[in-house]
Structure 1
Amino acid sequence: MTDPAFTTPGRFWRGNLHTHSNRSDGALEPAEVCRRYRAEGYDFIALTDHFVGLFGYPIVDTTGFRGEGFTTILGAELHSGAMENGELWHLLAVGLPPDFAPPDAPHFHPVEGQESGAELAARARAAGAFVAVAHPEWSGLTHADAMGIEAAHAVEIYNHGCAVGADRPHGFHTLDRMLEAGRRLTLIATDDAHFTEPDHFGGWVMVKAEENTPDALLAALKAGAFYSSTGPEIHEVAWEEKRVVVRHSEAASVVVLGRGSAARAIHGEGITETVVPYDRVGGSPWRRLTVMDARGRRAWTNPVWVG
């Protein structure tokens, strides 16, 4: 088993894939959003304003805010069709072309005859975007909803804005059930920042690429060459036959998770290299890692598949 985040040539670039400006329902101008992320030490962001008629279907041109050591990827949060609870779909699309055709989504409520979420996701992926199911817990997503999005690359498993504003930040249940059904998905942590509350600089991806350019980052995202974090760093992961060896920043726990209830954890104080035997996780067709520090912040690898 190999994880491209730790075998792909290059270095890690820190980025946020879910951000809003005042081109939709955020508080700040796009230039100021980019300035704040750059000042915070991020290498890139995707500005993903809400792609609905209410805001003029924006795919904000952020190319002018790129500079030495900082870049942007064009994108949007897409909406069309109803989930099982009757609410409108939220789909993250990073790497959209600026002329991506809008759906019939005049506002934040489903309308008769509009594209389904599955159709919109497929069209975004065909246009070259990295597509993720956004904030499943916050949305009230069902398993049937999630399984209907066949074009997704990833599931948003931590959303900092949903943590701060609604205490519904997670997508692990959705992700793991989809993995159990054989879907080969990755996972992302994001901010979903609007700058209307302390919803920024809380969740990010660390993308492995040789260059900090939109094309290189987008290709790495699609290839799964990244991990996600709210604080800890993961330096190296070696998936061996009977154990996984992990080098990381100071941590209190490292957990290997698999299908169903399968999990194995190692605990310590200030540990920086951890060996976790698979034990009861060994029968799972996929495995993923969580690294947790003493403050409860976490980092997550993407799932790897046996064989």
Structure 2
Amino acid sequence: MIDPAFSAPGRFFRGNLHTHSTLSDGVLPPEEVCRRYRDEGYDFIALTDHFVGLFGYPIADTKPFRDNRFTTVLGAEVHSGAMQNGELWHILAVGLPEDFAPSNSPGFHPVEGQESGPEIARRAREAGAFVAVAHPHWSGLTLEDARSIGDAHAVEVYNHGCARGCDRGEGFQTADLLLSEGRDLTLIATDDAHFSEPDHFGGWVMVKAEANEPEALLTALKAGRFYSSQGPELRHVERAGNKLHIECSAVESVIVQGHGSAAVSRHAPSMTRAEIDLTRFAGSDWIRATVIDSAGRRAWSNPMRLG
């Protein structure tokens, strides 16, 4: 069984799925945000400004900033309803149509009578978006909250802005618990860049698609044909019998995780391949892999079901 990111046709395209501009609370205009990502070597971004009334419910029209080597996917960070801690839901919706109907979300606080988080997530998915639970640690998300978003394709497991701004950048516990309950979810790393602090160019997805075009990228994201990274490259992930074979750029650690405490690691200088025995995962229905380079930067595979 080969991870679909490495068996699908096409090539990898580097992209950021969570970004803000002056259309909401970012400090750079959309054109400059796109320019910086393009010139930094990204193949695409999704400009996902906050979809609230305070900013006029923006879905940024970034089509004019596309060229023959850089593209954009329309989207927004949608908000509606209260989580268990009483704060407003944050849900990433990449691939929204420009006419997506606003919720009754005037600002960054829940109001009576508005849609719930699960309801706006469902509407976004039905409208064609790739939907992700944003920054679980930063949000103070409970497991019950996370369970309620049944229409999520993914969990944002690394958010560079939250990591740099408040040391609450990860969502792996949320993702792992949901995976152990049988949910089919993928894992995304993002910037959540506002350009008001060093919150950019720190986490991204590598999407395997046949063309650097919005629909091809969205199709690949929904099918799980990608991995996430802070720097290292994953080059092949394959399960053969009771072994997991991993090929990557030079790293110092290769770790495979599964249900509960199940994990196996390998550590050596400049590893570019590893073979992990899966006996430790006999009680796990899923596994995922992490590689870590000499600078401490990580890359993550999507989960693979063992059943």
Matched, 1:220 2:224: no
Residue 74 (structure 1) shift: 0.1
Partner residue, 1:18: 18
Partner residue, 1:4: 4
Partner residue, 1:232: 232
Q: What's the TM-score, normalizing by structure 1?
A: 0.99
Residue 245 (structure 1) shift: 1.0
Residue 290 (structure 1) shift: 0.3
Q: Secondary structure at the match of 1:74?
A: strand
Q: Secondary structure at the match of 2:144?
A: helix
Give the letter for the 2:25 counterpart: D
Deviations 1:171-206 (A, max 9, x none): 000000001111000000000000000000000000
The RMSD of aligned alpha carbons is 0.7
Give the letter for the 2:163 counterpart: A
Residue 2 (structure 1) shift: 3.2
Give the letter for the 1:127 counterpart: A
Deviations 1:73-111 (A, max 9, x none): 000000000000000000000000000000000000000
Deviations 1:256-279 (A, max 9, x none): 110000000011001111111113
CA distance in 1, matches of 2:282, 2:96: 39
Partner residue, 1:192: 192
Partner residue, 2:105: 105
Q: Secondary structure at the match of 1:161?
A: helix
CA distance in 1, matches of 2:50, 2:294: 36
Matched, 1:60 2:60: yes
Partner residue, 2:283: 283
For the 8 Å contact 1:2–1:304, the answer to whether it is kept is: no
Query: Unmatched 5+ residue regions in structure 2?
Result: none
Deviations 1:106-130 (A, max 9, x none): 0000000100000000000000000
Paired residues in the alignment total: 307
Q: Secondary structure at the match of 1:34?
A: helix
Residue 36 (structure 1) shift: 0.1
Partner residue, 1:127: 127
Partner residue, 1:77: 77
Structure 1 runs, 4 residues or longer, greater than 6 Å off:
none
| Percentage of pairs with the same residue | 67
Task: Say which is worse superposed, 130-139 or 286-295, in terms of deviation.
Answer: 286-295
Partner residue, 2:172: 172
Partner residue, 2:140: 140
Give the letter for the 2:289 counterpart: L
Partner residue, 2:252: 252
Deviations 1:23-67 (A, max 9, x none): 000000000000000000000000000000000000000000000
CA distance in 2, matches of 1:213, 1:232: 24
